[in-house]
């Protein structure tokens, strides 16, 4: 049974950083979805199959499900704390909140709340740093599995430089990751990511364990942080004096590759960018986090010039936005401060098709090509008189999309669909 959804469609058919015609917008458009929750086709409303059930979203926009490629589950209630930069914020705000997740009941409640909030903001796929407590991270997988959120996540691993209650050992970490892989590895929407927090919280033995685990289980992702602040980079240099640079710490333990997701990378050396490109690492840019912690202005163009696949992250709780849609405006402003002018197409790409490519999931999600999973959301400016009037004055559809990126937010998301079904959490 096919269902036809009517509205203005916008998605990417290619990479707008290399081909200017990647963005496709269809006013009075239609998306048709088959009974298996896959996209059967899209086009103008007049081209939609007849006889199918029709759901008319009027002047609203239909967009591919958003991908939030970096956030922290146990920081859901740590958002918006006054801070003096990354390292003291971790000590003063983050670690005490993360320790609360030893209570599995508390963690399960937060997991359900986070997953619901992401979906209601149009996010249908997320890469998440889980709790240090395996049971709490299990609750996150359960919540995502039940609600239909596509999830890449793992236990946040630390074995030094933090409060004792958050530390593990390489042996315990290995066993806990194997248990998660066994429990959730068979679900096509749930993926394990080894998650060593960052170089400063990991011993050489813990990093070596991650490298060995990846060799044993090459399907797992690895996510971590890199080059976020100058203070952090200097500390990494002191703790790993033999490393050529920050990336080299991870490189020495076999942690680089196409399933490696590196968050931030605000202050990379050219040698690091070359090595990231050569080893096919992915970089996740987290705009509001970078501004809120005062970490710096992400060098987008340098990453693009090196051909490094990119995605965006809300980085909750350093970031402020529970929908990655609201990160698009912050990303734009950061690039303006660098003298660059990203287009609406480039911004949308970073949160949809580009992110799907970076995660190796573009065969399944990222745009409206037939055969892909029907993960999409409805952004509705109706009911917001000012936004409606502002949009009517735009000369082109691309200009409208750009205004929506600047002025619309989670509150304008009318509905989110995963695999063709409306989200019900």
Ligand X SMILES: O=c1[nH]c(=O)c2nc[nH]c2[nH]1
CA distance 97 to 116: 20
Compute the least distance from the CB of residue 421 to Zn ion, in Å: 30
**Measured from the CB atom, is 90 or 347 closer to ligand X?**
90
Binding of ligand X at residue 191 (CB under 6 A)?
A: no
Binding of ligand X at residue 265 (CB under 6 A)?
A: no
Residues that bind Zn ion (CB under 5 A): 315
Instruction: Classify 254 as helix, strand or coil.
Output: coil
Instruction: Classify 235 as helix, strand or coil.
Output: helix
Q: Is the peptide bond before 187 cis (omega within 30 degrees of 0)?
A: no
CA distance 255 to 276: 11
CA distance 58 to 379: 11
CA distances from 384 to 69, 282, 379 (A): 29, 37, 12
Q: Which residues ranging from 218 to 237 are in contact with ligand X (CB under 6 A)?
A: 225, 228
**Measured from the CB atom, is 24 or 97 closer to ligand X?**
97
Binding of ligand X at residue 331 (CB under 6 A)?
A: no
Binding of ligand X at residue 246 (CB under 6 A)?
A: no
List the one residue from 12, 90, 128, 300 that touches ligand X (CB under 6 A).
90
Binding of ligand X at residue 251 (CB under 6 A)?
A: no
Report what 223 binds from ligand X, Zn ion, none; CB cut-off 5-8 Å by kind.
Answer: none
Which candidate, 203, 195, 197, 210, places its Cα nearest to that of 140? 195
Sign of CA dihedral 286, 70, 305, 348: negative
Compute the least distance from the CB of residue 117 to Zn ion, in Å: 17
Q: What is the DSSP string of 197-224?
A: --GGG--HHHHHHHHHHHHH-TT-EEEE
Binding of ligand X at residue 94 (CB under 6 A)?
A: yes
Binding of ligand X at residue 159 (CB under 6 A)?
A: no
Stretch that binds ligand X, among 24-32, 86-94, 169-177, 242-250 (CB under 6 A): 86-94
List the one residue from 161, 195, 289, 314 that touches ligand X (CB under 6 A).
289
Binding of ligand X at residue 214 (CB under 6 A)?
A: no
Q: Which residues bind ligand X (CB under 6 A)?
A: 72, 86, 90, 94, 197-198, 225, 228, 289, 315, 318
């Amino acid at each position: 049974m096919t269902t036809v959804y009517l509205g203005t469609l916008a998605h990417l058919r290619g990479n707008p950083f290399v081909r200017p015609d990647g963005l496709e917008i269809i006013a009075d458009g239609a998306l048709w979805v088959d009974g298996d929750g896959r996209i059967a086709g899209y086009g103008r409303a007049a081209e939609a199959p007849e006889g199918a059930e029709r759901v008319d979203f009027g002047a609203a926009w239909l967009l591919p499900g958003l991908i939030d490629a970096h956030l922290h589950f146990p920081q859901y209630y740590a958002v918006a704390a006054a801070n003096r930069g990354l390292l003291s914020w971790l000590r003063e705000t983050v670690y005490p909140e993360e320790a609360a997740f030893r209570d599995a009941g508390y963690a399960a409640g937060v997991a359900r709340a986070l997953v619901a909030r992401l979906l209601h903001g149009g996010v249908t796929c997320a890469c998440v740093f889980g709790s240090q407590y395996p049971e709490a991270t299990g609750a996150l997988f359960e919540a995502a599995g039940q609600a239909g959120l596509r999830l890449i996540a793992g236990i946040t691993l630390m074995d030094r430089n933090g409060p004792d209650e958050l530390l593990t050992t390489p042996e315990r970490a290995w066993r806990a990751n194997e248990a998660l892989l066994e429990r959730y590895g068979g679900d096509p929407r749930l993926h394990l990511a080894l998650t060593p927090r960052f170089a400063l919280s990991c011993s050489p033995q813990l990093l070596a364990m991650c490298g060995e685990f990846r060799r044993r289980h090459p399907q797992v992702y690895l996510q971590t942080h890199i080059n976020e602040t100058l203070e952090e980079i200097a500390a990494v240099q002191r703790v790993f004096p033999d490393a050529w640079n920050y990336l080299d710490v991870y490189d020495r333990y076999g942690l680089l590759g196409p399933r490696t997701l590196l968050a931030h990378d605000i202050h990379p050396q050219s040698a690091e960018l070359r090595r990231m490109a050569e080893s096919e690492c992915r970089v996740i840019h987290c705009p509001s986090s970078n501004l809120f912690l005062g970490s710096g202005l992400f060098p987008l163009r340098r990453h693009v010039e090196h051909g490094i696949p990119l995605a965006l992250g809300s980085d909750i709780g350093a970031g402020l936005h529970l929908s990655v849609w609201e990160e698009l405006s912050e990303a734009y402003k950061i690039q303006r401060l660098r003298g660059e002018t990203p287009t609406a197409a480039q911004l949308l790409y970073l949160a949809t098709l580009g992110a799907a490519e970076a995660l190796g999931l573009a065969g399944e999600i990222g745009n409206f090509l037939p055969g892909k999973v029907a993960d999409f959301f409805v952004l509705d400016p109706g009911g917001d008189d000012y936004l409606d009037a502002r949009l009517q004055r735009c000369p082109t559809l691309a200009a409208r999309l750009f205004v929506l990126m600047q002025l619309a937010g989670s509150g304008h998301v009318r509905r989110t669909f995963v695999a063709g079904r409306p989200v019900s959490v």
